[in-house]
Amino acid sequence: MTDASAPQRLAPTTDGGPVGAVMVIGGAEDKLGERVILARFVELAGGDQARIAVISTASSLGDAATDLYRHVFTRAGAAKVIGLRPETREEANDPKTIEPLKDVTGIFMTGGNQLRLSSVIGGTRLGAAILDAHGRGVVVAGTSAGASAVATHMMAFGSSGATPKYRMANVSVGLGLLVNVVVDQHFEQRTRLGRLLAVVAQSPSLIGLGLDEDTAAIIDANDVLEVIGRGSVTIVDGTDVITDAFQTTGHKPMMVSNARLHSLPAGYRFDLRARRVLPLLVAKNEHIARLAQGRVKKMVRRLEDRKASE
């Protein structure tokens, strides 16, 4: 029997292979410059063979949100980008809505309102199709509201502030791609540490992930999380937490002690099962350094050749 506190995939594989990666993004990801996060998503989805479905149900921008990501993903090299925007549970249960997901290699959920997303899609045929696609190895990503909706426990809404308080956050059921994880976004920019601490203190089996803007966590089939992007991912582990949440009333501050807090910038990894930080990807960094050294040597040789020819 597996440890109930260990985050694990909910969607099983259908062919014996690994499930797809899950990418959760803190919102406001770069869409005009190097597009590190969105380019990585396209790469995970198959690069120039990527077939991506953009689900924009959470957004209030309508088809404009779909068109924006279609443009970005196409520029990043994706072969095909389609849009899905069910606005009712009836539409989310329509076989015509589900049909396009049968041959996609990536699913991307936009930002907006996560409660809208979960209440329209959760428990429908479309919700089941997303889980099934993930079990086939399809990479699933969500930004902002789409990131919060990815896990079984969804940060629905709450108040800002660094101090954990009773009734500070409201949690509901998400789409179920990640188990025993709760995701919050726009983390540093909107001062959401308090509510993530409050949720984990009241449910210590959860691991809390706080995602800064233009920052993503990529969780692979082994439940190893990798950080990419401009900011950091804050991880709250309540394994040994001590709290008086059970006797706090109203909206008063709660006592939270002994929670483990990790702040990981790009390049760092975290084992969600073992709940520990992993070493930096030294081999990868060394490879990048060797490439840089090689470029410098070529530049030096060109300068020497130019001087010799003068």
Report the catalytic residues: 144, 186, 213
The answer to whether 253 touches 261, Cβ cutoff 8 Å, is: no
Eight-class DSSP state of 245 = G
Question: Shortest CA distance to 208 belongs to which of 270, 130, 139?
Answer: 270
H or E element in which residue 179 lies: strand 178-184
Task: Locate 182 and state its tokens.
Answer: 């709760």
233 φ/ψ angles, rounded to the nearest 5 degrees: -110, 125
State the burial class of residue 265 (Cβ atoms within 10 Å of its Cβ: 0-12, 13-18, 19+): middle
Count helices and strands (H / E) in the chain: 9, 17
Can you give 3-54 as a three-state secondary structure string?
CCCCCCECCCCCCCCCCCCEEEECCCCCCCCCCHHHHHHHHHCCHHHCEEEE
Task: Locate 254 and state its tokens.
Answer: 């709660």
Contacts of 53 (CB under 8 A, 6+ apart): 81, 82, 83, 84, 100, 101, 104, 106, 107, 108
Question: Shortest CA distance to 107 belongs to which of 235, 26, 19?
Answer: 19
